[in-house]
Homo-oligomer: A and B are copies of this chain.
Amino acid sequence: MRLTQYTDYSLRVLLYLAHKNDQMVTNSELADFYKISRNHLVKVVHNLGLKGYLHTTRGKNGGLRLARPAHEIVIGDVVRKVEPDFELLECFNTTTDHCVITNVCALKSVLIRARDDFLSTLDLYTVADAVKGMNKHSPEFKLIPITHN
């Protein structure tokens, strides 16, 4: 059971912007910091903008920042909005489902409850909670990109 890399990168973008507070950040800065393909990152950032999480300013001094305070951005909401689907079993997609027992099987409703509990737990945390350890002046945070080389 995994979330997609797309969701992983979306969360990383929000965390970095939260850590930078209200400073403008560029796609290149994000790509360099996380050592992620810029093309990949541009798509992630574009989608976060569409979903209302980012403000983008164009021009020479343009860039990205969070559209609202990090403590108002709930992790569960982000995951619901950026993860492509939550089709835990084949029967979750009624269009592509070929399972012959779908109509008489209780497994789907059990998995729906588990999925909802997963997301409800993520609803207890915000992006601000996730970056609490990222003290701006933490040498650890600044050194990590180097030590991982």
Using a CB–CB distance below 8 Å, which chain A residues touch chain B?
Answer: 1-5, 8, 11-12, 15-16, 33-35, 75, 83, 85-90, 98-107, 110-111, 113-115, 117-122, 125, 129-135, 138, 140-141, 144-145, 148
Contact = CB atoms under 8 A, between A and B. Distances in A.
Contact of A117 (B4, B16, B118): B118
Contacts of A121: 110, 113-114, 117
Contact of A2 (B87, B110, B122, B134): B87
- Counted per complex, copies of this chain come to 2
Nearest to A88: B3
B3 A101 contact: no
Contacts of A5: 90
Contacts of A131: 105-106
A133 B104 CA distance: 5
B75 A110 contact: yes
